[in-house]
Amino acid sequence: MLDAYQENTLVFKRELCNGCQMCCIVCPHGVFAPNGKVVQIVNRSLCMECGACQQNCPAHAISVESGVGCATAMFMSALKGKNEAACSCG
């Protein structure tokens, strides 16, 4: 039997969210949005698993298995001879 398709590894624990909205600020694809005193995931499918939300969440309400990140940014960085990729496609 095949495992169910999983869009990505993003996990958000609303009960831990302190409402700082750092995830909304750092996410290059707008996966998160304010929702009252906390945030919510508004478009899970846009998550590229870069890990910015997890790294900037002081409440540890977000976890994601950071993978290769944004392939376009990685290719452009390699073509430009840069050591680090930064997504700017959003």
Q: Which of 70, 50, 56, 59 is nearest to 10 (CA)?
A: 50
Residue 55: the pLDDT is 94
**Which has more confidence, 57 or 80?**
57
Q: Is the pLDDT assigned to residue 65 strictly greater than 60? A: yes
**SS3 assignment, position 77:** helix
Q: Note the Cα 53 to chain centre separation in Å.
A: 5
pTM: predicted TM-score of the whole model, two decimal places: 0.69
Mean pLDDT of all residues in the chain?
Answer: 83
Is the separation of the CB atoms in 47 and 63 below 8 Å?
no
Q: Dihedral sign for Cα 6, 27, 17, 38, please.
A: negative
Residues 11-79, CATH architecture: 2-Layer Sandwich (3.30)
